[in-house]
Amino acid sequence: MKLFGTDGIRGKFGESPINHDELVKIGHAFAKSLFDTKAGKILISNDGRESSSAIEEALSLGIKHQGSMVFFIGLYPTPALSIYLNSTAQSSEMRAGIQITASHNPYYDNGVKFFDNNGHKINSNFEVTIENNYFSCNENIKEQYDRSSKSDDSDLFEKHYVDYIDDYFRLKMDNIHHTGDKFNILVDCANGATSKIISKILNNSFINLIPIFNEPNGKNINEKCGATDTNMLKSFISEFNANSSDYKKNIEKKKLKIDLGVAFDGDGDRAIFISPSGEEINGDEVLYILATFHKNNNNVESVVGTQMTNFGIQSLYKKNNIKFIETQVGDKYVLNEMIKSGSSFGGESSGHILVPVFDNYYVGDGIITLINLLEVIFKQEKNINSLKKEITSIPSKLFNIKVINKEKFIEDAQNIKVTKDLKKMLNEEGRILLRPSGTENLVRLLIEHRNPKQIEILSEYFYDNINKNTIV
């Protein structure tokens, strides 16, 4: 049995493995894998779900039983935790981090992501070590510890991230002298981890960040908002730019033009962009924009994407003499391949973009992705619409299929036959990809075809012919 999926451990709160008893063992296994019998320090932050405090309590019980200390940061983006650990890695203290989050999943799901002393997500080998310690744990961990005595001042962590972001923005905007009106960005915080931080960054710049969906209540994270559902963001941009009303539907009319929209996911490591005209710019397109810009300036030779990267964009890399390196879905796999190949840029269609920041540290951060895109816009003096027009991708559609069992769905003889039939029907005009989700009980079907009408025909054939006993 495996605990880990594509990105940490994830599931419905209250069910295995995201329940109290198993989380206690997970906390203990993580601390033991890190520090053995020595005492370290583990920082814990969360994305604002209502189950976060219960998960913190369970994890801390296991960690403290091992002998280590726990410091609670509170609402904090996942990449901010990573950045803090990396920035303080030279400290002699043994430390690591845990982010309590289920990323883009609904509020009733939750999970944990683990980071080492350098702020990197733990690798697959370390995941195996944790699993071994977890399954071999026979200790009865019931002792209650004082949580408050091990709490830290969250304001210090918040200031660290704000200062880091502002410094990075100044670095990227060097030699840019913006005059006239501020550049207005409508920011969808997904009622998640970026909600608290967004009003505190870039305040002394020519950027005006206007937050929406920035009032987390524990249950509204990713609910009809965020990187996985940009419909409301598109609607609000349309309203703003039509001078109809502000996003809160106040009576007062607003004369405010939105220059760009951005939607983060629940824990703040993904970003999807919306143009003033309502067009979506996904992770594949952003990665291409960044790679081609820096190729012209810094001699970028390769870029890392995944098996989900649009085939049309893969062809564009070839035309621009940029090597495209494919890896499996998951930002940790992208990062590993970036380090291996020496690539400066990598990412996923979902909006996970990894770039080098200070001291060539690679980070996947929605806000940092935004800053990198702004650098291209202002240094090339192009708006996002014109950048979008330079990209020719093949029409595609991603279908998320709820299944009873992911592995059995993929291995089912009837479903295998249907998949083969679809590939024959493509006539070399597109491609299909069927893969189990690493974070949810879903199977994802990607269909790409030069004719968008054919995508609908192929999807109908798929749904009409798959084994109905394998789906929910």
Q: pLDDT (tens digit, 0 to 9) for every residue of the chain, 472 residues total? A: 689 988 899 999 999 999 999 999 999 999 999 999 999 999 999 999 999 999 999 999 999 999 999 999 999 999 999 999 999 887 768 899 999 999 999 999 999 999 999 999 999 999 999 999 999 887 777 665 554 344 556 788 999 999 999 999 999 998 888 878 899 999 999 999 999 999 999 998 999 999 999 999 999 999 999 999 999 999 999 988 876 444 444 434 456 789 999 999 999 999 999 999 999 999 999 999 999 999 988 878 999 999 999 999 999 999 999 999 999 998 989 999 999 999 999 999 999 999 999 888 999 999 999 999 999 999 998 889 999 998 988 999 999 999 999 989 999 999 999 999 999 998 888 899 999 987 788 999 999 998 999 999 999 999 999 999 999 9
Same domain, yes or no: 148 and 165? no
Question: Which among 354, 353, 370, 81 is positioned nearest to 209, based on CA atoms?
Answer: 370
Residue 213 lies in a domain: yes
Same domain, yes or no: 130 and 180? no
Same domain, yes or no: 336 and 281? yes
Phi first, then psi: give them for residue 447, nearest 5 degrees: -120, 125
Domain closes at, from 341, 357, 389: 389
pLDDT of residue 149: 40
CA–CA separation, 316 and 204 (whole Å): 38
Same domain, yes or no: 177 and 238? yes
Q: How many domains does the chain have?
A: 3
Same domain, yes or no: 170 and 290? yes
CA–CA separation, 186 and 381 (whole Å): 20
Residue 4 lies in a domain: no
- 391 in the Ramachandran plot: left (φ > 0), alpha (ψ -120 to 50) or beta? beta
Sequence letter at residue 41: K
CA–CA separation, 359 and 433 (whole Å): 37
Any idea what the CATH number is for the domain that residue 465 is in? 3.30.310.50
For residues 183 and 260, is the Cβ–Cβ distance under 8 A?
Answer: yes
Residue 253 lies in a domain: yes
Tell me the two tokens of residue 46: 């969360």
CA dihedral 162, 163, 169, 170 (to 10 degrees): 150
pLDDT of residue 422: 92
Question: Which among 188, 181, 237, 230 is positioned nearest to 209, based on CA atoms?
Answer: 188
pLDDT of residue 239: 86
For residues 325 and 317, is the Cβ–Cβ distance under 8 A?
Answer: no
Domain closes at, from 108, 130, 152: 152
Any idea what the CATH number is for the domain that residue 79 is in? 3.40.120.10
Three-state secondary structure call for residue 208: strand
Q: Which DSSP string do the residues of 422-441 spell out, in sequence order? A: HHHHTTTSEEEEEEE-SSSS
pLDDT of residue 221: 98
Same domain, yes or no: 335 and 420? no
Q: What is the helix (H) or strand (E) element at residue 397, kind and residue range? A: strand 396-402
Domain closes at, from 127, 152, 177: 152
Distances (CA, A) of 300 to 82, 338, 361: 25, 12, 17
Q: Which residues are catalytic?
A: 103
Domain range spanning residue 297?
159-389
Question: Which among 315, 283, 317, 313 is positioned nearest to 303, based on CA atoms?
Answer: 317
pLDDT of residue 138: 76
Question: Given the structure tokens 């080492």, which residue do they identify?
Answer: 116
Residue 1 lies in a domain: no
Same domain, yes or no: 81 and 132? yes
Same domain, yes or no: 359 and 418? no
- Name the percent of the chain lying above pLDDT 90: 78
Residues 6+ apart with CB under 8 A from 89: 117, 118, 119
Same domain, yes or no: 118 and 165? no
pLDDT of residue 1: 66
- pTM score: 0.89
pLDDT of residue 7: 87
Residue 344 lies in a domain: yes
Residue 2 lies in a domain: no
Same domain, yes or no: 61 and 164? no
Same domain, yes or no: 425 and 285? no
DSSP 294: H
Same domain, yes or no: 437 and 347? no
